[in-house]
Amino acid sequence: MQVIDTIAAQAAGIAAVRRDIHAHPELCFEELRTADLVAQNLADWGIPIHRGLGTTGVVGIVHGRDGGACGRAIGLRADMDALPMQEFNTFDHASRHPGKMHACGHDGHTAMLLAAAQHLAQHRDFDGTVYLIFQPAEEGGGGAREMIKDGLFERFPMEAVFGMHNWPGMAVGQFAVSPGPVMASTSEFKITIRGKGGHAAMPHTGIDPVPIACQMVQSFQTIISRNKKPVDAGVISVTMIHAGEATNVVPDSCELQGTVRTFTLEVLDLIEQRMRKIAQHACAAHDAQCEFEFVRNYPPTVNAPAEAAFARKVMASIVGEANVLAQEPTMGAEDFSYMLQALPGAYCFIANGDGDHRAMGHGGGPCTLHNPSYDFNDALIPLGATYWVRLAHEWLNQPKPREAA
């Protein structure tokens, strides 16, 4: 691996920052301490900062040797927030806040971008500007969307934006990136079936919402198997069914809730339309009333082909072509998708290993994302930071991409 020597030499200090962030997790839009820590480090390295986008976001501005006069610019993004879950690890840097944990590695994402920031500020051996985007509230809060609403790309014009996520199960020293959809959209639905309650021994006197719910759940799966194209991916999961309070009472209502995942908005449109029709008509067929709610959260994360190819080339120069894998799409969701809707760019995975890196005192569970025994692998800090620095250098050294007509 061609890791930058100065980044490797400073990695221990950045790892200490990462562990400090891990010990003090903050949930979406509450990342005050984390934002203060990020801002203080950037300021100490002579990097101008802007705070407040998306409530707790921080943007660092690193001008190259030309002071940014050429007008070229690239954006690098890391998320900062933690998850509302109890950590099982008991090592020294375990969470000090019950019910909050960095179980997705955002502490590590922040650390990798800080390590890159430190190197860029020390050397400034490029022309143009690198914008360092430390984003809040990826875990359900849509922090990327909120930063964009607050004028991120108007205040800090950039040609492209790139993101990175650690990925457990891949061998350390590997990356993965591919063009097209790499993470799914996420939507939630809630359907309330209103019937007419009565005695369970005399069901003919009421309108039982439970059989209607059963019919509805089964019918939803025909959308996947019979309405969408077989080559298009989509998931409908009914994850909650609530009805009744007694064994001898037909309930008045039944509530269904769940999630929908797709890789394209076209499939999402189809699923929402078909679910609404099935729900309404199933209820109408039994003289019940239907209340249908469908909330779209994050859109699919779609890598631009040119930017994904560019990122792959940079990765290969660091770890070798054999260690840059195809990025298998996942039905997980990511709000970096909003940034990729606004600008070209790419979202990649960096391998986190299988958990052997964890310190004594880690929980007994697997080192997987959103697991209470997870911990970010500090060995990734110099590698991830090298990728960020090389990506910025190579991007700003190439001819400026032509703007779409």
Q: What is the pLDDT of residues 339-384, one digit of tens each?
A: 999 999 999 999 998 877 887 678 778 889 999 999 999 999 999 9
* C-alpha to C-alpha distance for 328 and 308, rounded to whole angstroms: 13
What does pLDDT average to over the chain? 96
List, in sequence order, every beta strand (DSSP E) within 100-176. 129-135, 161-167, 175-176
Task: Please report the pLDDT score of residue 405 as a whole number.
Answer: 42
54 and 154 co-located in one domain: yes
- Which of 296, 323, 350 delimits the end of a domain? 296
Q: 380-397 vs 11-23: helix axis angle to the nearest 10? A: 110
Of the residues 255, 273, 296, which one is the last residue of a structural domain?
A: 296
Q: What is the mean pLDDT of residues 271-279?
A: 98
Cα–Cα distances in angstroms (integers) from residue 57 to residues 37, 38, 62, in the given order: 12, 10, 16
Helix (H) or strand (E) holding 133: strand 129-135
Structurally, the chain folds into a number of domains equal to 2
Q: Are 164 and 350 in contact (CB under 8 A)?
A: yes
pTM: predicted TM-score of the whole model, two decimal places: 0.93
Whether pLDDT at 117 is above 70 = yes
Half-sphere exposure of 335 toward its Cβ, with a 13 Å CA cutoff? 22
Average pLDDT over residues 231-241: 97
Helix intervals (H) in 124-226: 143-149, 152-155, 209-222
Among 250, 271, 296, residue at a domain's last position: 296
Q: Is the pLDDT of residue 166 over 90?
A: yes
Q: Are residues 24 and 126 in the same domain?
A: yes
- Do both 36 and 75 map to the same domain? yes
Average pLDDT over residues 172-190: 98
Asked whether residue 352 falls in the same domain as residue 381, the answer is: yes
Burial class (CB in 10 A: 0-12, 13-18, 19+), 206: middle
Say whether pLDDT at 213 is over 60: yes
Give residue 366's pLDDT. Answer: 86
